Amino acid sequence: MGAAIEDYGMIGDCESVALVGRDGSIDWLCWPRFDSAACFAALLGTPANGRWLLAPAAAIKSTSRKYRAHTLILETRFETADGAVTVIDFMPPRSGHSELVRIVRGDSGQVHMQMDLKLRFDYGLSVPWLTSIGESLLQAIVGPDLIVINGGHPCTQSDGTVTTDFTIRAGETVPFVIMHGPSHLPAPWPISASAALAQTERFWLDWVSQCEYRGPAADAVERSLIVLKALTYASTGGIVAAPTTSLPEEIGGERNWDYRYCWLRDATFTLLAFMNAGYRAEAVAWRDWLMRAVAGEAAQDQIMYGIAGERRLPEWEVAWLSGYEGSRPVRVGNAAVSQLQLDVYGEVADALHQARKMGMRDPEQSAALEREWIEHLEEIWMEPDEGIWEVRSGRQQFTHSKVMAWVAVDRAIKDFEQFNLPGPLDRWRALRAEIHAHVCEHGFNASVGTFVQSYGSTALDASLLLIPLLGFLPAADPRVVATIEAIERKLTVDGLVLRYDLEKSEDGLAGHEGTFILCSFWLVDCLIMLGRRDDAQRLFERLLSLRSDLGLLAEEYDPAARRQLGNFPQAFSHIGLVNSAVNLSRAIGTVTQRTDSEPGQVGA
């Protein structure tokens, strides 16, 4: 058994991310982009699939770690019988090539260190050709990729592996830098590790200084915003759902997906998280990415795209990787890209609505695009779809999907009315009323007294918590109250929310999964809207306690095993944390940057 998911720390340069284990091993890095093939893939295999270990050679008595205040600079401190040492890991913001820097700092006594660097491109398959190009300077090439390795201590290389060992004393530093570039161009010129450290620290301090949030759990909100910034592809503004693929929702199971892409359903929640904290530039960049990605015929739009708006994301299995703790298959790409998920129409319309409410300049094509989307939705909203959870067992009439179809029309009407945009408003108002009545008739099951996952079902679904948050019905509506309370009773484990009842809901996959962290934040928001602030506060604090010692959250949490599950760090989990914190601050009267919507309410 390897490291627990929460035992990894994240470093990144807003174009890619590396995961650093508590043991000093970097086990995951895709270069040069989030969605590139990994050159360190030990996370999903073994050290032979690529990793970079930098740690004491002798027995370690204790390990502690932290992020340098207000940054994404990771410091891991090792104590041995002979002394203490800190390894400082970071990726400088790019000014051309991408770099990964590790600085060993002697803190006390003397410590014998080992460095083992295995670069394995193509998800751990391809061994590079290594050559020496100077003192403590090596070059690794395979296909299109080139890595320059600059060691602060002489290194040796054999069979595609670079190693060294050295002793460091108190007050000394030894830097190691690896740099990526295209193999057909001149090699990147070595950089100063100390200068890069100062530059990286200044970048994050300047960025964090813009945060306007002053409510509860400010430190947790700040860390979550740093995570979201790190998951933003700087060149385009797209935000990946997570920087990893195939970290399992069930250990040993097959629920292993590639999350290194941008989902449209993240749009509204992401905009609100950034705007409520004062990060207008990031919100605008995400909105602009969204507009570019969906440009074209509405009938051809997808539920997700690549980080630059790419549409073809074919799914395939990496047969040579054994999977995290034996969880197979390891997948690259995501076949859900071809699914019909009606909720994305509502997410896009709500994102445009929120952007307009917040005073963002409206792109010229947005009104025309939105009209085409609503016209297309008029034709297809009655169709079954794969839904928010992207089931692979066939399409159903999901209640949440229909609610989101209503959201799409509702937000379009509000915007076209308020901003005097040309559109068939009378027809849209009739459509909005028709969808609302249809959901209330078929999505609510009188025999069980709640809204249900799909028409004719008796199963609950956590996505039903969005009904009041999106303004479809008031939180005080008896049907909504009954649904929230039923989810609390029947769809929680140790107080945390499952996505749905796996025994009642066929999703096309065997096995089980953990509680879904974002859904638990939705419950926090619903409790706020019901006036149950103490309950909301307790659940919020419980969710904060699930974070790793570095403040990071995966997609899910297993209360029985007390460990995080799923891809990591998960943008949606951190978005939920930020937005629930904002909602709590409004409920208790804490002044935050934005106060123009009801506590707990996402859209409306």
Are 135 and 246 members of one domain?
no
- Judge whether 2 lies within some domain: no
pLDDT at position 66 is: 98
Are 81 and 221 members of one domain?
no
- Judge whether 600 lies within some domain: no
Are 201 and 260 members of one domain?
no
Are 227 and 245 members of one domain?
yes
pLDDT at position 427 is: 97
| CATH classification at residue 401 | 1.50.10.10
One-letter amino acid identity for 155? C
pLDDT at position 473 is: 98
Contacts with 61 (C-beta within 8 Å, 6 or more apart), sequence order: 79, 80, 81
pLDDT at position 266 is: 82
- Judge whether 450 lies within some domain: yes
Mean pLDDT of 572-587: 95
Are 250 and 168 members of one domain?
no
Cα torsion through 207, 21, 40, 305, rounded to 10: -50
Q: Where does the pLDDT of residue 597 fall: very low under 50, low under 70, confident under 90, or very high at 90 and above?
A: very low
pTM: 0.95
Contacts with 105 (C-beta within 8 Å, 6 or more apart), sequence order: 85, 86, 87, 88, 168, 172, 173
Are 237 and 280 members of one domain?
yes
Q: Give percent of the chain above pLDDT 70.
A: 96
Are 202 and 218 members of one domain?
no
Three-state DSSP class for residue 452? coil
Q: Do the bridges between strand 74-80 and strand 83-90 make them parallel or antiparallel, or are there none, so unpaired?
A: antiparallel
Mean pLDDT of 461-487: 98
Mean pLDDT of 586-600: 52
- Judge whether 13 lies within some domain: yes
Are 202 and 315 members of one domain?
no
pLDDT at 508 over 60: no
What are the pLDDT digits (tens) for 124-153?
999 999 998 877 789 999 999 999 999 888
Q: Where does the pLDDT of residue 265 fall: very low under 50, low under 70, confident under 90, or very high at 90 and above?
A: confident
Q: Give the structural domain span for 168.
A: 8-185+194-207
- Judge whether 599 lies within some domain: no
pLDDT at position 510 is: 46
Domain total for the chain?
A: 2
- Judge whether 259 lies within some domain: yes
CA–CA distance, 348 with 342 (Å, rounded to integer):
11
Are 103 and 219 members of one domain?
no
What are the pLDDT digits (tens) for 338-374?
998 999 999 989 988 988 888 888 777 788 888 999 9
pLDDT at 234 over 90: yes
Are 144 and 234 members of one domain?
no
| CATH classification at residue 42 | 2.70.98
Burial 304-321 (b: 16+ CB within 10 A, else e): bbbbbbeeebeeeebeeb
